[in-house]
Chains A and B, each alone.
Chain A
């Protein structure tokens, strides 16, 4: 397998994102014709074979999700493209929509056909104006060229895609909260089970996939699952876009094979550390991500549960030795306090109290009681919240304590 295999970004800057014809010239929608003649079961088998894992952060096997939704009998099913990315430091989905929107549409059509959905939604973050504009244009063009609508491409399959724009809520990236949001309710996560593959949007079987996952689908169907499974190393397959930022020379988004270690991400892709600066630690996966000290930079971010470093959303923030850790901790907690949906007490009150404590820590009136409460609150968030947001809010703070980055907390 060649070193720089591009799956997601291969058409970036070559294709005109405003024109369907430009996408077709570069081979777009070709595989779709073939896929529509396949049995849905065989498409799902191909995705299972590829080993593709959900790129939103959870890493749930995409094939399994589809299998589950396809197994339920229902007159209506839904397929949702999750483009509500709002994890701080992550903007890969926005770039996918801005650079190659038709790739997403093709992926959505294949996915919907495979699970038997006749209606698909794209849930776009309310801040992504350009992405929204280009997606809407792409959907309209796809209708004009009969890639969408009644009996698309001469087959007996019909699909409609609707774009739904969010209104600024981090939690709506969680699939059940996203579904509630489309249904015109507060974007609060639902209790599971039942899982969305059985009872999702309007209580029908639903698949919610991250945009990056969906963008990988056309390539897999074109080249085969086996070939996709050969990309990557150290037990992880495929490629992934990393958004690298912080004290690196060339911050930006880079598509890399899975299994690439942090050193390579920083030095091979992002051009190395800015001169005159020195990394203190890196944070992987946005504000909900863990901290990695430089002596672990040889580890590669992975979806495996036993891995030292997990991928999360694919954001990599390299933090300077000169960073004021108290300010950064307050920024994390400000974020989680603001975005906590308020449904469960430990998360709503826990993030608020932690924010107050961190404010006192920053202002220099941090007491002994504050320190005890800090550790109790971290435990509570880690173990008792309704959804993963509360748990995530404690990860980075736990690591600050673990690595001794803040003297007062020891």
Chain B
């Protein structure tokens, strides 16, 4: 699947821009400069306008592709359920601070709220959601993934 293949599925209408960006992100893992230029040409927009929209949203990466993305909810509800301890444990596991974007292998990201508060703390690893995560479970869960090595 190329970027063009994806783009031609969409009519050139304003409300299709974010949809196309999301699908390209899903297929390629990020929206890079080539993608921005191709999207801009297709939607007859300025590349800056496409970048400005794409870079706004949390679920779209304009900073490169990560092998593994670990998201942990630190909203008030999960915080009262000790999400801070879980974050510390994740940081220790990877030897990397949360929200540090210099490592392209793993991204550990604070999230606002997934809307599953009664089952918190919530952790999402590569789109798989884990509920009621305790600091003790972090090691077991993350050891199942090897893409970051």
Nearest B residue to A250, CB-CB: B118
Q: Quick check: is A186 within 8 A (CB to CB) of the other chain?
A: yes
Q: Quick check: is A216 within 8 A (CB to CB) of the other chain?
A: no
Complex CA–CA separation, A126 to B52 (angstroms): 19
- B interface, over-half SS: helix
Question: Interface stretch among B73-81, B89-97, B100-108, B134-142?
Answer: B73-81
Question: Interface stretch among A18-26, A295-303, A320-328?
Answer: A320-328
Instruction: Tell me which residues across on chain B come within 8 A of A103, comparing CB atoms.
Output: none
Instruction: Tell me which residues across on chain A come within 8 A of B77, comparing CB atoms.
Output: 88-89, 245-246, 315, 317
Instruction: Tell me which residues across on chain A come within 8 A of B80, comparing CB atoms.
Output: 246-247, 317, 319-320, 323, 328
Complex CA–CA separation, A323 to B79 (angstroms): 9
Q: Quick check: is B15 within 8 A (CB to CB) of the other chain?
A: yes
Instruction: Tell me which residues across on chain B come within 8 A of A165, comparing CB atoms.
Output: 19, 22
Complex CA–CA separation, A120 to B14 (angstroms): 16
- Is there an interface contact between A88 and B15, defined as CB atoms closer than 8 Å? no
Question: Interface stretch among A42-50, A146-154, A331-339, A371-379?
Answer: A331-339
- Is there an interface contact between A245 and B117, defined as CB atoms closer than 8 Å? yes
- Is there an interface contact between A125 and B115, defined as CB atoms closer than 8 Å? yes
Instruction: Tell me which residues across on chain B come within 8 A of A186, comparing CB atoms.
Output: 52-53, 56
Complex CA–CA separation, A48 to B125 (angstroms): 46
- Is there an interface contact between B60 and A167, defined as CB atoms closer than 8 Å? yes
Answer whether A170 and B14 are a contact pair too, CB < 8 Å, given A286-B76, A335-B76. no
Contact for B57 among A169, A252, A323, A334, CB less than 8 A? A169
Give residues of chain A (58-101) contacting chain B, Cβ–Cβ below 8 Å: 85-91, 94
Q: Quick check: is A182 within 8 A (CB to CB) of the other chain?
A: yes
- Is there an interface contact between B113 and A88, defined as CB atoms closer than 8 Å? yes
Complex CA–CA separation, A9 to B21 (angstroms): 36
Give residues of chain B (110-146) contacting chain A, Cβ–Cβ below 8 Å: 110, 112-118
Instruction: Tell me which residues across on chain A come within 8 A of B49, comparing CB atoms.
Output: 185
Instruction: Tell me which residues across on chain A come within 8 A of B74, comparing CB atoms.
Output: 331, 334-335
- Is there an interface contact between B16 and A184, defined as CB atoms closer than 8 Å? yes
Nearest B residue to A171, CB-CB: B56
Task: Report B35 CB to chain A, min CB distance, Å.
Answer: 15
Answer whether A126 and B115 are a contact pair too, CB < 8 Å, given A182-B15, A184-B53, A186-B52. no
Nearest B residue to A336, CB-CB: B112
- The proximity string for A residues 97-132 relative to B, scoring 1 for CB distances below 8 Å and 0 otherwise, is 000000000000000000000000000011110000
Q: Quick check: is B24 within 8 A (CB to CB) of the other chain?
A: no
Instruction: Tell me which residues across on chain B come within 8 A of A167, comparing CB atoms.
Output: 18, 21-22, 57-60
Task: Report A347 CB to chain B, min CB distance, Å.
Answer: 15
Complex CA–CA separation, A341 to B56 (angstroms): 8
- The proximity string for A residues 238-261 relative to B, scoring 1 for CB distances below 8 Å and 0 otherwise, is 000001011100011000000000
- Is there an interface contact between A252 and B115, defined as CB atoms closer than 8 Å? no
Q: Quick check: is A283 within 8 A (CB to CB) of the other chain?
A: yes
- Is there an interface contact between A89 and B76, defined as CB atoms closer than 8 Å? yes
Nearest A residue to B45, CB-CB: A184
Chain A interface: which size bin? 35 or more
- Is there an interface contact between B56 and A169, defined as CB atoms closer than 8 Å? yes
Q: Quick check: is A181 within 8 A (CB to CB) of the other chain?
A: yes
Complex CA–CA separation, A181 to B116 (angstroms): 24
Instruction: Tell me which residues across on chain A come within 8 A of B58, comparing CB atoms.
Output: 167-169
Complex CA–CA separation, A90 to B77 (angstroms): 10
Nearest A residue to B16, CB-CB: A184
Answer whether A88 and B112 are a contact pair too, CB < 8 Å, given A169-B57, A334-B74. yes
Q: Quick check: is A202 within 8 A (CB to CB) of the other chain?
A: yes
Instruction: Tell me which residues across on chain A come within 8 A of B83, comparing CB atoms.
Output: 331
Interface centre among B18, B43, B115, B116 (most CB of A within 10 A): B115
- The proximity string for B residues 1-39 relative to A, scoring 1 for CB distances below 8 Å and 0 otherwise, is 000000000000011111101100000000000000000
Answer whether A126 and B59 are a contact pair too, CB < 8 Å, given A88-B113, A328-B80, A331-B79. yes
List 16 additional A-B contacts (Cβ < 8 Å) besides A125-B115, A323-B80: A90-B115, A126-B59, A162-B15, A184-B14, A184-B18, A186-B52, A186-B53, A186-B56, A188-B56, A246-B77, A317-B77, A328-B76, A328-B79, A334-B74, A335-B74, A338-B110
Can you list 17 pairs linking A and B with CB atoms under 8 Å apart? A85-B115, A86-B112, A86-B115, A87-B113, A88-B112, A89-B77, A89-B113, A91-B116, A128-B115, A164-B15, A169-B57, A246-B77, A251-B118, A287-B75, A317-B77, A323-B80, A331-B84
In the A-B complex, the 9 residue pairs with the smallest Cβ-Cβ separation, listed nearest first, are A184-B17, A88-B75, A168-B58, A167-B57, A91-B115, A331-B79, A88-B113, A168-B59, A186-B56
Chain A residues at the B interface, C-beta cutoff of 8 Å = 85-91, 94, 125-128, 162, 164-170, 181-188, 202, 243, 245-247, 251-252, 283, 286-287, 315, 317, 319-320, 323, 327-328, 331-332, 334-335, 338-339, 341
